[in-house]
Structure 1
């Protein structure tokens, strides 16, 4: 039988209790064999307990350890499944996609909205689909959830109380697991299987909003090494000095301190183009890095890695804007095929 490494990190899938009492970690492996015995007919599964944490406790140091463990163990298996809580699942998938280059086997992350021990849990099907995807899916880091396989660094958690909790707004699904399981080819490995486990977590994610006092992020600059700004639309933010809330001084002071600023969009689809509007052009003049259609979670983790391996802001910028694991679209992000632009109508202005 093919061999699959099942690495458990914690999360709702492996918990017990709940409704009305709070969820708590449980003996995951025992529950797994009781509730999903079919898994062991699909593959020779080796269970390993990496951690037993609520995913809100997941930290960059754990990502580094997890990537190093997978780098060491993966060549002995046909694929790997990582069980994980849903709240930070997209962050962990992004981190692993950047840390594990040239993957020789699929690495599939999954979780659930209800614990495996509950009758109406989605955990059992998610686990079965994840194991199948680890055996037959593309050789990259993916998220398997609700019968869909997504590129891990393209996903967002979009729902809290429904089973279809994840979406990939700017990239098509890599697999659909219905009556039949169908997969796209995915990424082609470039070079040998390598580990890039270093991260610098001294970054900050700032969301632009009406009323933001620029003094607040300016006060953060002495304490951080990198900044991700979630701007409006295609990369807009206030720059009118007469209103007293211009963010242009933030970019200027960040540049003086050698702090790279990556601009991504709050918009769900498409991405940033800093050439479209005055504020974007002003940000570029101050050295801002356009994040294209990077998700905020992927941009944050990629900036952590960039700061760990590159010294100059220019090198950081080149790294951010160069695809490493299919995480961004070069050039202006296209309108997704699922939402074609209507003929005869001009795009909305800001």
Structure 2
């Protein structure tokens, strides 16, 4: 049988309790074998415990440990499944996609909206679909949820109380697991399997909103190494000095201090084009970088990694940020709507069929 690594990190899937008491981490492996015994008919699954945390506790230091562990383990397996809480799942998937370059097998992250031990849990099907995706899906880091497979660094959590909790607004789904399991080819390998585990987490993610006083982030500039700005639309923000909330002093001082600024959009579809409006063009003149259609979570992790590997070269950092590494951004102006979520690619029957 093919070998699949199942690495448990925590999250709702492995929790116990619930209304009226609070959910809490619980023993996962015993529940897994009792509730999903057919999972072990699909593959020779090796269970490994990485952590047992609520995903709100996930931090960059844990991403580094996780990526290092997976880098050591993946060559021994035909696929890997990482169980994870949904709240920070997109952040972890983005991190692993950038840290594990050209993985030798699929790495599939999954979780659930309800614990595995509950009768109406979505965890059982998510786990089965994730293992099938680890056996037959593309060799990249993905998220499997509600019978769909998403590129890990393109996904967003969009719902709290429904099973279709994730979406990939700017990238077509990589797999649909219905009566048939169908998968897209995914990313092409660009070299050997390599680990890039270094991160500089001194990055601030700032959302623009009406009423935000730029003096507040100005005070934080001496304490950060990089800034991600979630702007309006195609990359807009206030620049009128007469209204008293212009972002230009922030960009000017960031440039003087050598703090790189990356702009992404608050809009879920399409992306940033700083050349389109006056405010974006003014920011470009101060060295601000457009993040194209990267999600805020992908842009955050990519800037952390860029600062760690290009600490003294603004030019190399800019090239890194604006060049796709693991399919996390669209080259050129990202204005084309992706195919519908239910789109199917070339059909490949799974081994279970």
TM-score (ref. length: structure 2):
0.95
Question: Match for residue 292 of structure 1?
Answer: 292
Question: Match for residue 335 of structure 1?
Answer: 336
Matched, 1:306 2:306: yes
**Partner-residue secondary structure (3-state), 2:307:** helix
**Partner-residue secondary structure (3-state), 1:149:** strand
**Partner-residue secondary structure (3-state), 1:95:** helix
Which aligned pairs between 1:65-84 and structure 2 lie closer than 5 A? Answer: 65-84=65-84
Distance 1:199 1:338 in 2: 34
Unaligned 5+ runs, structure 1: 340-350
Question: Match for residue 50 of structure 1?
Answer: 50
**Partner-residue secondary structure (3-state), 1:176:** strand
Runs of 4+ in 1 over 6 A off after TM superposition: none
1:264 positional shift: 0.3
Aligned residues of 1:36 and 1:124 also touching (Cα < 8 A): yes
**Partner-residue secondary structure (3-state), 1:132:** helix
Change (3 A) 1:105 1:337: closer
Question: Match for residue 348 of structure 1?
Answer: none
Which aligned pairs between 1:1-350 and structure 2 lie closer than 5 A? Answer: 1-311=1-311, 312-338=313-339
Distance 1:102 1:202 in 2: 27
Aligned residues of 1:110 and 1:143 also touching (Cα < 8 A): yes
1:338 positional shift: 4.7
Distance 1:125 1:161 in 2: 17
1:217 positional shift: 0.6
Aligned residues of 1:170 and 1:269 also touching (Cα < 8 A): yes
Aligned residues of 1:259 and 1:313 also touching (Cα < 8 A): no
Aligned residues of 1:129 and 1:177 also touching (Cα < 8 A): yes
1:313 positional shift: 2.1
Distance 2:228 2:314 in 1: 14
1:188 positional shift: 1.0
**Partner-residue secondary structure (3-state), 2:108:** strand
**Partner-residue secondary structure (3-state), 2:227:** strand
**Partner-residue secondary structure (3-state), 2:237:** coil
1:24 positional shift: 1.0
Aligned residues: 339
**Partner-residue secondary structure (3-state), 1:108:** strand
Higher mean C-alpha displacement, 127-136 vs 309-318? 309-318
CA shift digits 1:190-235 (9 cap, x unpaired): 1100000000000000000001111101001000000000000000
1:315 positional shift: 1.6
Aligned residues of 2:170 and 2:338 also touching (Cα < 8 A): no
**Partner-residue secondary structure (3-state), 1:65:** helix
Question: Match for residue 350 of structure 2?
Answer: none
Aligned-residue Cα RMSD (Å) equals 0.7
Aligned residues of 2:172 and 2:339 also touching (Cα < 8 A): no
Distance 2:292 2:24 in 1: 39
Unaligned 5+ runs, structure 2: 341-353
Aligned residues of 1:208 and 1:229 also touching (Cα < 8 A): yes
Change (3 A) 1:112 1:199: same
1:143 positional shift: 0.0
Distance 2:121 2:106 in 1: 25
**Partner-residue secondary structure (3-state), 1:64:** helix
**Partner-residue secondary structure (3-state), 1:113:** coil
**Partner-residue secondary structure (3-state), 2:160:** coil
1:292 positional shift: 0.2
Change (3 A) 1:338 1:183: closer
